[in-house]
Amino acid sequence: MTNPTACLLIIGNEVLSGRTQDANLKYIATRLGEIGIPLREARVIPDVRETIVATINEVRAKFDHVFTTGGIGPTHDDITSECVAEAFGVPWEPHPEAWSRLEAHYARQTPPGDFNAARQRMATMPRGAVLIDNIVSIAPGFTMGNVHVLAGVPRIMQAMFEALAPTLKGGAPVVSATVHANGLMEGRIAEGLAAIQARYGDVEIGSYPYYRPGGGGVAVVAKGTDADAVKQAAHDVLVFLRACGAMPVEGEPA
Amino acid sequence: MTNPTACLLIIGNEVLSGRTQDANLKYIATRLGEIGIPLREARVIPDVRETIVATINEVRAKFDHVFTTGGIGPTHDDITSECVAEAFGVPWEPHPEAWSRLEAHYARQTPPGDFNAARQRMATMPRGAVLIDNIVSIAPGFTMGNVHVLAGVPRIMQAMFEALAPTLKGGAPVVSATVHANGLMEGRIAEGLAAIQARYGDVEIGSYPYYRPGGGGVAVVAKGTDADAVKQAAHDVLVFLRACGAMPVEGEPA
C-alpha cells in the first residue's frame, strides 16, 4: 500500500523575514511520519492573498493532505481563513459553533472580554468548514476538504494537531534506524553507502555529518515503511562502518 | 526602485522527516533583508531528482535569485549539483579549479586523504558554474545563472553566503521597527492596527502575540524599505497602544 502524502504551508511574513524561527515543521513532520502520512514538501509563503490562494489550490491538488500554520488570529495580517474560502470558491461566513464557543469564552473572562469585530473574524470560516478543537485558546482551526488550517503559535498548533490526529488515516508508519560513528568522514564511506542503498530500494539511506567540540563524525539514517528492511539496512551500515575501522554505535550522536 | 526578490530551496529528506531542525532559513532571510533582496518564498523539498529539477526551473523563472541549501556533499543522497546541471540543460563535468582545490586539500591532510570518486563528485559541476569559496571545508559552492548553490551544514553555508554576499546587488535594505506591550491581547488592538496599516501602504505591519512565564503580550513589527515611513508607522503604533491603556516599549520583548 502506498502511503498518503502531505504538504505543509507555513504562512507568515515573520518567518520569511527571519524574525521568527519556525518551530512547527519539525513537530508536524515527526507526527505525520508516525501516523504514516509522510511530509513531501513544505513551503513558507508571505501574508499575500493571491500567493496564499494560488498556493493552496496548487498543493491541495498535488498532495493527499495539506496543513497550514499561521494567519488565523484576529488582526489585519491574519488572512488564511478567507484565502481558503476563496481557494475553494465558497462564501466566508460566520460559523455558528465557532461563534458560540468564542462568544461564551469572552463572556467568561474577568472582566468580560469584548467579542468585537476583530475577534468575530476568528469565528468566520469557509462554508463547509469542519472545526478543529483548540483547548489552549478556544478559537478553533478547521478542515476544508483536504486542507487542515492550524494556528501558528506552536503550543496552539500542537493542541489543534493532536485534536485532528485521530481522524487522519495514514499508511504504515515511517520508521527509522540511525547508526553513527565518531571520527569518520563522509567521503571515506560514500561509495560503500551507495552500494548498501542500491540493495534496499524501499529504504532511504541518508548520510549526515555532525560536528562536536573535540571532533565529529557521520550519522547514517535508514528510513522507510518496511520496518524489517530498515532494520536490516541499518545493520548492514553498522557492519560496513566497522569494516572501515570505526566504532559505530546505534542511535543518534549525543 | 523595486527590490530584487529571492527564493530559498532547502533540499533534504532530513528536514522533511523532522530529524533535523532547519537553521539556514533564518540566517539567509535576515542577511538578504539587510542586502535588500527580500526572501519571498522558501520550500523544503526531498532528495528526489525530478522534484529538485522541476522546482529549480519553476522558481528560477519566478524570482531574481534562488538560493539552495543541502545536497552537495560526497554521498549518494547528495544530488543537488547534478540536478542543477539537468535543470539548466548543461553537462555535469569536472570543474578544473574546484578539482585542484580539493586535490590539494586532501594531499595536505595528515595522513593524506584519498581524493576518491566520492570526493571527486564535489568537484563536478554544471558547465559554466562560478565557484563560491568555502573557507571552512574547502569544497566550493557555485552560482549557475541566478541559482546559488550552498552547503546544508550551517557554518559552511554561512561561510559560502558571506563569500557570495559582496557580489549580490540589492535594493534598499529592508528595515524594521518593533513595539511591544505586555498584557495586551491582539483582539483588542486589531481594529486600530488595521487603521494604521491602511495609512501606510508601503509598510508591512505585523502583529505577533508572545507568551512568557507570568504573562504575555503583543509585539507589533513595522517593516519596509522606506526607513522614514517604517519609523513613523512604528511611532503611530506606540501612540495607539498607549491610548489602549498599555505601556508599550520599543524593540522586541526580552
Q: Could you read off the pLDDT of B97-154 as tens digits, one per residue?
A: 999 999 999 999 888 889 999 999 999 999 999 999 999 999 999 999 999 999 999 9
Judge: B186–A117 Cβ closer than 8 Å, yes or no.
no
Least confident of A92-101, A228-237, A245-254: A245-254
- Write out pLDDT tens, residues B180-212: 999 999 999 999 999 999 999 999 999 999 988
- The answer on pLDDT for A141 being more than 80 is yes
The mean pLDDT of A102-109, rounded to a whole number, is 94
pLDDT at residue A109, rounded to an integer: 87
Query: Which residue does chain A place closest to B11, by CA atoms?
Result: A41
The reply to whether residue A14 touches residue B194, judged by beta carbons under 8 angstroms, is no
Residue B113 confidence (pLDDT): 84
Asked if the peptide bond before residue A94 counts as cis, ω within 30 degrees of 0, the response is no
3-state helix, strand, coil in chain A (%, to 5): 40, 25, 35
Mutate: best of A35, A44, A178, A191, partner B, most B CBs <10 A: A44
Question: Do the beta carbons of residue B141 and residue B151 sit within 8 Å?
Answer: yes
* Residue for grid cell 533583508: B33
- Residue A216 backbone zone (phi > 0: left; psi -120 to 50: alpha; other: beta): beta
- What is the tens place of the pLDDT at every residue in A24-72? 999 999 999 999 999 999 999 999 999 999 999 999 999 999 999 999 9
Which runs of E-coded beta strand occur in chain B?
6-11, 39-45, 65-69, 92-94, 124-126, 130-132, 141-144, 147-150, 175-182, 204-212, 215-224, 249-250
Output the pLDDT for position A1.
Answer: 63
**Which residue carries 498543493 as its cell?**
A59
Q: How confident is the model at residue B1 (pLDDT cuts 50, 70, 90)?
A: low
A205–B43: do the CB atoms touch at under 8 Å?
Answer: no
What was the pLDDT predicted at A72?
97
**Mean pLDDT along residues A132-151:** 97
| For chain B, percent of residues with pLDDT exceeding 90 | 94
| Axis crossing angle, helix A25-35 with helix A154-164, rounded to the nearest 10 | 20
Cis peptide bond N-terminal to A213, omega within 30: no
| Contact A20/B at CB under 8 A | yes
**Which domains, and CATH codes, for chain B?**
6-167 (3.40.980.10), 175-250 (3.30.70.260)
Please provide residue A77's backbone torsions phi and psi, each rounded to the nearest 5 degrees: -90, 5
As a whole number of angstroms, the distance between CA A151 and CA A11 comes to 10
For all residues of chain B together, what is the average pLDDT? 96
Residue A215: what pLDDT? 83
Tell whether B193 is within 8 A of chain A (Cβ): yes
Question: Where does the pLDDT of residue B25 fall: very low under 50, low under 70, confident under 90, or very high at 90 and above?
Answer: very high
Distance from the Cα of A144 to chain B's closest Cα (Å) equals 23
Ranges of H-type helices in A44-146: 49-62, 80-88, 96-108, 117-121
| Chain B environment of A116 (Cβ under 8 Å) | 187-188, 190-191
What pLDDT does residue B144 have?
A: 98
pLDDT of A110: 81
Largest Cα separation within chain B, whole Å, is: 70
Is residue A186 a contact partner of residue A207, using CB atoms and an 8 Å limit?
Answer: yes
